[in-house]
Amino acid sequence: MKEAHASALVPVVQTRYQQLIRRIQHLPPSGSRPLTVSGRVAGWVTARAAGHLHGLPGVHIEDEAVHITAAPSQRMSLNAVLARLALSLKDTGCLRSWRNELLDVIGEGRRLGAIERAAVRPLGLLTKAVHLNAWSPDGRLWVARRALSKSTDPDKWDTLVGGLAVAGESLDNSLLRESNEEAGLEPQDLEKRSPLRIILRMHRRLPEGYQVEDVLVSDCVLAETVVPKNLDGEVSEIRLADMAEIRELLETDAFTREAELVVLEGLQKRIEQGLIV
């Protein structure tokens, strides 16, 4: 690592972080209403999505909020109601894509049920994203370029590993799964990683709804013999970037918003530890 490059990075980290916070902390979209699930506050449903929920079993719409519960009179559990709701949003064109993947529905800190991943943004439901900042022994950072086929942020640079925790999965298991799928890493490669920590809860308006997401990260130094290799086809390139390259990626908005947040937090920690001076 060249000292001139590292020193020049410090003010960039501070400035970019302040700018980024303004880009990822938004009030809910205009016309959104609070969403409760089984009586617990769980999200912010967009006006468009709410308009397509009228008459569905287990859905009660009021002027000030939308409520979702099980529908025992129709012999529908909460998960069955949520599945029906997601299909309705799909059929009416409210969903960006269908993933065939279930995420936990969380209300007031409790897991309440599970729903199709594509439906979480129109409903403003909380998601949890796990990331890995993977460093080389000489202080460079592994970064990955998202494939052109990705529905969100195609061709943007990302953390080496990053993905959402799926229904019923612990956060640590989510990180291990994503590390294998996205970078071919095995558990023994990550034995010395730091515990997952929450950076912040992001609130971001998106075309399809509202992103409410806990961003978590773990740090590790990968051994020189470990060379990450993508296995799921969602990454077009993986490479090591030195501090000059990281600065350029930051200043040219080449990272996704989530990846920039994670990278900046990782850089700040290394600055505080004296690893970047």
List Cβ neighbours of 153 (8 Å cut-off, separation of 6 or more): 146, 256
Token reading at 50: 């709410």
CA 121, 124, 127, 129 torsion-angle sign? positive
Confidence at residue 273, expressed as pLDDT on a 0 to 100 scale: 84
**pLDDT 10s digits, 2-27:** 444 556 778 888 899 999 999 999 99
What per-residue confidence (pLDDT) applies to 199? 95
| 182-185-190-193 Cα dihedral, nearest 10 degrees | -20
- CB proximity list for 63: less than 8 A, separation 6 or greater: none
Which domains can be identified in the chain, with CATH numbers?
3-26+127-272 (3.90.79.10), 33-123 (3.30.750.160)
pTM over cut 0.85? yes
**What digits encode the pLDDT tens for the residues 168-209?**
999 999 999 999 999 999 999 999 999 999 999 999 999 999
What is d(CA 170, CA 218) in angstroms, rounded to the nearest whole number?
A: 14
> What pLDDT digit, counting tens, does each position of 63-78 carry?
999 999 999 999 999 9
Indicate the length of the chain as a whole number.
Answer: 277
pLDDT on residue 237: 96
Read off the tokens for 167. 């229904």
